Amino acid sequence: MCVSFNLKCISTDIICKVLIVWLFLLKIKILINLLQRHYNIITGGRGDVNVYVLSRILTCVLLLPLCCWRGEMLKKIIFESKCVYLKTSLFFLLTMWVQLVNSASSDYVSEYNGTYLKFLASEGDNDLPRLKMTIFNKQLPSIVVDTGSTGIVISANAIPSLNDLPSKPGKIIYNSSGRIMLGVWVETPVIISGDNGVSISTKSLPILAVSEIACLENARDCTPQKKPRDVYMMGVGFARENSMQKQSTPDTNPFLNTRENNYHKGYIMTRHGVYLGITDKDVSRNFSIVNLIPSKDIVGEWKAPSACIKVSTNISEFCGSALVDTGVKDMFLTLPGYFSDSGEQLSPGDEITIKLSSEIQYTVVYDGEKNATSPARIFLNTKRATPFVNTGVNFLNDFDILYDADAGLFGYRYIK
């Protein structure tokens, strides 16, 4: 509601000075918001500030002279006033407001304080997330950000003077594909960059220089290869040691070994980018939080979060562990002893409901209607002993995830 008052009782000079101070403070506040958005904010990210509401408030502020003074004072300021500073302030405020509205390409922005790395432009919601990496002063081709593994894995030929570096034999197995990455571990800091121009540096950490790709006996997607030239994978996951990745310990995770140590080790990952560093405020920001169980064998490591899986054609609920894997497009299910009318395999139209916490669950359909979280394919294993679900990358189309490696927390946030 606008408050009317008699302008004749107030000196024009006083009005000019008061408005100058008020507009100056307001435009500083807007400038801070713009800077925060430019350096820390994800386009498409979710947070506490609604840009649409903010722009409406600023619109009201700009129109305040019109509604209170029926346009007379605004008209005098623009066309008759000799107060140059006041005119400049009004013009600057208007341009700042336009910039703020134009920069709001999504409904929400975040006031998150950590470092934000925007993923490289992709061709659609099914693409794997990628960032840029510089190693030994050499920029690599784009590298996949993979929460389904731990450790940086790159082709040996991409590392300058590799034979002159101290090294030890290394191996990582990707059990979803059946690929065995063979090579040597070398240590070096790396620089990781986002599409928004922001970069972070890591401490010196082990990197697997791959000289050969071998295959598991039952590999799903693997071709043996000597001296591969197209291996660029950055594993940032956790709890992968028991999944044929015994050498994938937290000291190989680049997101947990950055030089910036102002926050808890960890990250918030969305479909469009990743925030590095976790605060208590971030944990309470609409995330459904799961407390992780610490590893008994590895310092700083945690066990995978729990999950329960239910198939519409089977009365049983299978409870085990979950993996949000940004390195694959498919879903992998382990349902020990699963059996339905169609036998041990899923049937077209089967609904698979996955419960990840007391508040978060979602459903996909096998060989049926697709939704945003539907994987490219669904693979079922009924022989392994422990229930398990690998969601695949499309989970991020509807959810953000949080990992706090210091506090042992994992979180899910619905974004639609």
Partners of residue 320 on adjacent β-strands: 307
Position 77 confidence tier, pLDDT thresholds 50, 70, 90: low
Per residue, the 3-state secondary structure of 25-79, as one string, reads HHHHHHHHHHHHHHHHCCCCCCCCEEHHHHHHHHHHHHHHHHHHHCCHHHHHHHH
Of 25-29, 76-80, 127-131, the least confident: 76-80
Give the pLDDT confidence of 130-173 residue by residue, as tens digits. 999 999 999 998 999 999 999 999 999 999 889 999 999 999 99
For range 78-90, the mean pLDDT: 57
| Residue 313 confidence (pLDDT) | 86
For range 22-34, the mean pLDDT: 61
- Do the domain assignments include residue 293? no
Position 48 confidence tier, pLDDT thresholds 50, 70, 90: very low
Using the 8-state DSSP alphabet, how is residue 80 labeled? I
The Cα–Cα gap between 392 and 373 comes to 9
The mean pLDDT of the chain is 81
The Cα–Cα gap between 273 and 42 comes to 7
Specify whether the CB–CB gap between 280 and 272 falls below 8 A. Answer: no
Q: Residue 284 class from Cβ within 10 Å (0-12 exposed, 13-18 middle, 19+ buried)? A: exposed
Do 271 and 314 sit in the same domain of this protein? no
What proportions of the chain, in percent to the nearest 5, are helix, strand and coil? 25, 35, 45
Q: How far is CA 359 from CA 76, 128, 275, 280, 372, in A?
A: 57, 27, 23, 20, 19
- Do the domain assignments include residue 158? yes
- Do the domain assignments include residue 132? yes
Last residue of a domain, one of 109, 129, 164: 109
Do 149 and 235 sit in the same domain of this protein? yes
Do 186 and 246 sit in the same domain of this protein? yes
Do 46 and 78 sit in the same domain of this protein? yes
Q: Is the dihedral of CA 146, 149, 152, 157 positive or negative?
A: negative
Report the CATH number at residue 231. 2.40.70.10
Specify whether the CB–CB gap between 325 and 177 falls below 8 A. Answer: no
Complete DSSP assignment for 380-393: EE-SSSS-EEE--G
Last residue of a domain, one of 109, 139, 171: 109
| Residue 283 confidence (pLDDT) | 83
Do 123 and 268 sit in the same domain of this protein? yes
Complete DSSP assignment for 337-386: T--BTTBSS--TT-EEEEE-SSS-EEEEETTS---TT--S-EEEE-SSSS
Is the model's pLDDT at 110 over the cut of 60? no
- Do the domain assignments include residue 2? no
Last residue of a domain, one of 257, 277, 297: 277
| Residue 109 confidence (pLDDT) | 38
Give the pLDDT confidence of 220-275 residue by residue, as tens digits. 889 999 999 999 999 999 998 776 667 778 999 999 999 877 789 999 999 999 99
Instruction: Tell me the one-letter amino acid at 357.
Output: S
- Do the domain assignments include residue 95? yes
| Residue 244 confidence (pLDDT) | 62
Do 105 and 124 sit in the same domain of this protein? no
Do 101 and 120 sit in the same domain of this protein? no
Domain that holds residue 143: 116-277
Do 262 and 319 sit in the same domain of this protein? no
Predicted model pTM: 0.74
Cα end-to-end span (Å), the chain: 33
Give the pLDDT confidence of 64-73 residue by residue, as tens digits. 444 444 445 5
Q: What is the CA radius of gyration of the chain?
A: 27
- Do the domain assignments include residue 300? no
- Do the domain assignments include residue 297? no
- Do the domain assignments include residue 250? yes
Do 38 and 63 sit in the same domain of this protein? yes
Q: Is the dihedral of CA 80, 81, 87, 91 positive or negative?
A: negative
Is the model's pLDDT at 318 over the cut of 90? yes
Do 167 and 228 sit in the same domain of this protein? yes
Do 231 and 267 sit in the same domain of this protein? yes
Q: Which two tokens stand for residue 122?
A: 């992709």
Do 120 and 102 sit in the same domain of this protein? no
| Residue 339 confidence (pLDDT) | 79
Q: 208, 195, 220: which is closest to 245 by C-alpha?
A: 208
Instruction: Quote the distance between the C-alpha of residue 21 and its chain's center.
Output: 40
Give the pLDDT confidence of 331-375 residue by residue, as tens digits. 999 999 887 766 678 999 999 999 999 999 999 999 988 999 999
Secondary structure E strands in 163-259: 168-174, 179-188, 190-193, 199-201, 205-215, 225-226, 232-236
Number of domains in the chain: 3
